[in-house]
Amino acid sequence: HAAPPVCSASRAALLTGCYPPRIGIGGALGPASRHGIAAEETTLAELLRGRGYRTALVGKWHLGHHAPFLPTRHGFDEFLGIPYSNDMWPLHPEAAPGTYPPLPLFDGDAIVDDDVDADDQATLTARLTARAVDFIARCGRERPFFLHVAHPMPHVPLFAGAAFAGTTPGGTYGDVLAEIDASVGAIRAALERSGALADTLLLVTSDNGPWLSYGDHAGSAGPWREGKGTVFEGGVRVPCVARLEGVIPAGSVCSAPLMAIDILPTVAALTGPALAADAAGRLVVGTLPIDGRDVGGLLRGAPAAGEAAERDLGFWYLDNELQAVRRGRWKLFFPHTARTMEGQAPGAGGRPGKYRPLPVPRMLGDLERDPGETTDVAAEHPEVAAALAAAAERFRAELGDRLTGRTGAGARPAGRHAAAGPPQPPPPHQRKEEDTTPANRA
């Protein structure tokens, strides 16, 4: 599971092991954002670099585009990519002229292309793959390395390279996925050539579900309800495929609900000393608590690790709203307004359709019997609903909840750009997509 169903907050959770409200990153940061990941936070790249790893990020960053927040200030030795989503450019189909400046491409801290156009976007996947393969070749077996590949697509707008355009029955979306699949294959082949494949954890996952308003450019959540921008399973349940020779049993499947916040503590335990815990039982990086847990036992297929299926998972969306809590098969929703494309005309060709508001009541779902999350079973299982409500209270006390007016005792602020002016609101077409936390609102 992604911790939230939207870009920046999800990536922040993956790289820090923290729920987004703990570190002050919500929604999706854009060119007008004045904040980013705080210097006090420890990213997975910083942790591994401290253990002697060479580190690189190729692709989308999306955790602050001002200099103090760039990847090279947060543990990455190398960075080639874009600072935010590839739709935050002058050609956005819904943005008024002048809403977005030209999209830049960074190499390290320097802008090497100050106006990424459509032709450039069509070469991005290949260019990023080439840098990833080169990084692996340069590291080889001489030094351990951490490579974070964050392809800007299949986030819209979609562009496939010349070798892939028009080659699949899935249209442009299928062509883009075919090129990304080939990218994963090229990276795996580079690991094999370097001799590092046998002792490298190769993990593929996503930051949220499909952006359903884009129709044929969105993909599908399959049997799961809704998509990106909602805390229904279609928004937060994402693929996760992992390979580590001699550790992860080949062909095994794990059905326990895990979350991206678990990646940092799990990798920490695989690469050196496991993280220590504080008096409250939370794992600590440096002196700061995080929210993830080491799930190495589940990766190894250890039967005792199955208890992780009974952990509490909290799902937040914009403005620090705790909208649902899950434990095992059960998921309790709290009243909020989501969005849906049901009954609406789907988008096509890169232009989105229009969502309609979806009022969500308090309801308890049973994901085993009702994976589509359509039926409230709270009356049949009041003890389950009560237990999840109590878990939600613990989340609110620690991390806050705008829906109930709570401020979390353990929430930390995002970093602020020292020369920034007053915070600016996101453009109207992005109000349900970009960050609208208090730190980013006028």
139 is catalytic: no
Question: For residue 41, which phi and psi values (nearest 5 degrees)?
Answer: -75, 150
Which residues on neighbouring strands pair with residue 405, listed in sequence order?
Answer: none
* Per annotation, catalytic residue among 1, 7, 18, 35: 7
3-state secondary structure the chain: CCCCCCHHHHHHHHHHCCCHHHHCCCCCCCCCCCEECCCCCCCHHHHHHCCCCEEEEEEECCCCCCHHHCHHHCCCCEEEEECCCCCCCCCCCCCCCCCCCCCCEEECCEEEECCCCHHHHHHHHHHHHHHHHHHHHHHCCCCCEEEEEECCCCCCCCCCCCCCCCCCCCHHHHHHHHHHHHHHHHHHHHHHHHCCHHHCCEEEECCCCCCHHHHHHCCCCCCCCCCCCCCCHHHHCCCEEEECCCCCCCCCCCCCCCCHHHHHHHHHHHHCCCCEECCCCCEEECCEECCCCCCHHHHHCCHHHHHHHHCEEEEEEHHHEEEEEEECCEEEECCEEEEECCCCCCCECCECCCCEEEEECCEEEECCCCCCCCCCCCCCCHHHHHHHHHHHHHHHHHHCEHHHCECCCCCCCCEECCCCCCCCCCCHHHCCCCCCCHHHCC
Which of these, 56, 39, 40, lies nearest to 48 by C-alpha position?
56
What single-letter amino acid sits at 226? E
For residue 293, give every residue at least 6 positions away whose Cβ sits within 8 Å of its Cβ, in sequence order, or none. 262, 265, 283, 308, 311
Cβ-Cβ contacts under 8 Å for 197 (sequence gap 6 or more):
188, 191, 245
From CA 192, how far away is CA 175, in angstroms rounded?
26
Which residue in 181, 189, 194, 183 sits closest to 129, CA to CA?
A: 183
**18 counts as catalytic:** no
Query: What is the C-alpha to C-alpha distance for residues 184 and 407, in angstroms, rounded to an integer?
Result: 42
Could you say which of 62, 65, 151, 155 is catalytic? Answer: 62
The residues annotated with a catalytic role in the active site are 7, 62
